[in-house]
């Protein structure tokens, strides 16, 4: 939206998240945790339009040879087109004709939150993997590299077999949030936790480009950043992503002092009233196998705290990105989630 240590590490993260809240906002979070307890199984979800409609949700047994395409075939009726790409799933898809020509939609697969560019027939699954197939338009957003709705993945698992060490950088007033995530969700990873200096520079965080004092994102790390937008945008990678949200697959972002969103099936973005907190994720260059940049931010301190709260309590499951108010209440207006029930 990989990982040799799914069974133990992911179970621990799942249990921590479950313990953080008495109501996770998604009724089957316990199923997801149970899937990992059972061992050699994968959790398969099929949706439409970025998660706005649920088609299928199952956990299945897997072997070392099971691929993302095998997992889909296990739970659905799949029709392949020329070249072996997925055309229809349970009758959905297939380039339907519209008034403006063929429907610009296709099936995309996401593994542990990362949208994969690998042929799904060659993409082998590891025990505990989450496999999210989604039918969506591709003419507006060609690629949506990372979804926040599989948190703590992909920070915990990485993508495929590329697990980068985790680094958590936090701004003024967010040390407790950073330490909470470090000591509960990510304790097994023993992440490097660094503060953002009062003068707006990241203490001791060196990257591969730009002055060391102003770089928070490392291309050899998985990066979790917590702070007000005015502070974290000093990082050149974060700034580049924020200046080209569509190019990096962001459906929510901050522009000036406003939080904006763009549905994946609409041409224009809009300002979200009363929004103060935001969670988005991408990679340093938009490629699925590059370093992850997972950002918890906002226009106010309260908004950032609210975004942390919403994330750690499991309210953002299956969202691509999310916008919250100062209390952590979701006020997102786009069809990125949560999953609707089948109909």
Closest CA to 334 of 24, 110, 54, 52: 52
Quick one: average pLDDT of 241-259? 95
Closest CA to 112 of 74, 161, 72, 158: 158
Please list the residues that pair with 167 across neighbouring strands: 192, 223
Per-residue pLDDT of 145-203, as tens digits, reads 999 999 999 999 888 777 899 999 999 899 999 999 999 999 999 999 998 764 444 54
Percent share of the chain, pLDDT over 90: 62
Closest CA to 75 of 96, 61, 93: 61
DSSP 116-160: --S-TTT-B--TT-EEEEEEEE-SS-S---B-GGGTTTTTTT-BT
Q: How far apart are CA 186 and CA 210, in angstroms?
A: 28
Per-residue pLDDT of 75-93, as tens digits, reads 999 999 988 899 999 999 9
Domains of the chain (ranges; CATH) run: 6-137 (2.170.130.30), 164-324 (3.30.379)
Contact 286, 248 (CB under 8 A): yes
pLDDT at 263: 87
Quick one: average pLDDT of 221-245? 95
Q: Which of 227-241, 262-276, 303-317, 323-337 has the lowest mean pLDDT?
A: 323-337
- Kindly provide the b/e burial profile for residues 1-12, where b requires at least 16 CB atoms within 10 angstroms of the residue's own CB: bbbeebbebbbb
pLDDT at 215: 62
Mean pLDDT for the chain? 82
- Token pair 């990873």 is at which residue? 189
Determine the 3-state secondary structure of 25 from DSSP. Answer: coil
pLDDT at 213: 45
pLDDT at 95: 63
pLDDT at 102: 57
34, pLDDT greater than 50: no
- Token pair 């249990």 is at which residue? 15
- Kindly provide the b/e burial profile for residues 171-189, where b requires at least 16 CB atoms within 10 angstroms of the residue's own CB: beebeebbeebbebbbeeb
List the structure tokens of 115.
């949208």
pLDDT at 94: 74
pLDDT at 334: 47
15 backbone dihedrals φ, ψ, rounded to 5°: -65, -40
More confident residue, 208 or 52: 52
Q: How far apart are CA 187 and CA 185, in angstroms?
A: 6
Percent share of the chain, pLDDT over 70: 77
99, pLDDT greater than 80: no
Contact 105, 93 (CB under 8 A): yes
Q: How far apart are CA 2 and CA 70, in angstroms?
A: 17
DSSP 8-state code for residue 165 = P
57, pLDDT greater than 60: yes
pLDDT at 139: 87
Please report which residue ranges of the chain form alpha helices under DSSP H.
11-19, 29-37, 68-75, 175-183, 229-232, 236-243, 301-312
SS3 content of the chain, % helix, strand, coil (to 5): 25, 30, 50
Which residues are CB-neighbours of 281 under 8 A, at least 6 positions away?
A: 113, 145, 146, 147, 148, 292, 293, 294, 295, 321
pLDDT band at residue 52 under the 50/70/90 scheme:
confident
Q: How far apart are CA 177 and CA 225, in angstroms?
A: 11
pLDDT band at residue 212 under the 50/70/90 scheme:
very low
């Amino acid at each position: 939206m990989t990982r040799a240590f799914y069974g133990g590490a992911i179970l621990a993260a799942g249990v921590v998240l479950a313990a953080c809240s008495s109501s996770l906002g998604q009724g089957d979070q316990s199923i997801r945790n149970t899937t990992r307890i059972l061992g050699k199984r994968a959790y398969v979800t099929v949706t439409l339009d970025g998660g706005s409609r649920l088609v299928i949700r199952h956990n299945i047994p897997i072997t070392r040879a099971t691929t993302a395409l095998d997992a889909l075939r296990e739970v659905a009726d799949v029709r392949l087109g020329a070249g072996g790409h997925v055309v229809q799933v349970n009758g959905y898809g297939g380039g339907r004709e519209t008034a403006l020509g063929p429907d610009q939609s296709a099936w995309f697969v996401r593994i542990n939150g990362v949208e994969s560019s690998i042929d799904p027939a060659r993409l082998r699954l590891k025990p505990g993997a989450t496999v999210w197939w989604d039918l969506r338009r591709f003419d507006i957003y060609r690629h949506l590299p990372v979804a926040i709705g599989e948190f703590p993945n992909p920070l915990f698992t990485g993508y495929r077999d590329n697990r980068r060490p985790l680094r958590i950088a936090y701004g003024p007033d967010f040390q407790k949030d950073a330490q909470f995530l470090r000591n509960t969700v990510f304790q097994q990873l023993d992440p490097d936790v660094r503060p953002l200096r009062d003068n707006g520079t990241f203490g001791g965080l060196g990257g591969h480009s730009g002055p060391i004092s102003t770089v928070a994102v490392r291309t050899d790390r998985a990066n979790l950043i917590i702070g007000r937008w005015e502070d974290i945008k000093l990082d050149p990678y974060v700034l580049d992503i924020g200046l080209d949200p569509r190019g990096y697959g962001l459906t929510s972002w901050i522009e000036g002092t406003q939080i904006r969103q763009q549905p994946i099936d609409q041409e224009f973005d809009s300002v979200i009233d009363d929004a103060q907190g935001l969670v988005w994720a991408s990679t340093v260059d938009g490629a699925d196998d590059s370093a992850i940049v997972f950002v918890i931010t906002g226009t106010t301190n309260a908004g950032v705290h609210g975004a942390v709260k919403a994330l750690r309590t499991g309210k953002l499951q299956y969202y691509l990105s999310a916008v919250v108010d100062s209390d952590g209440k979701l006020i997102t207006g786009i069809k990125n989630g949560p999953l609707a029930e089948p109909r």
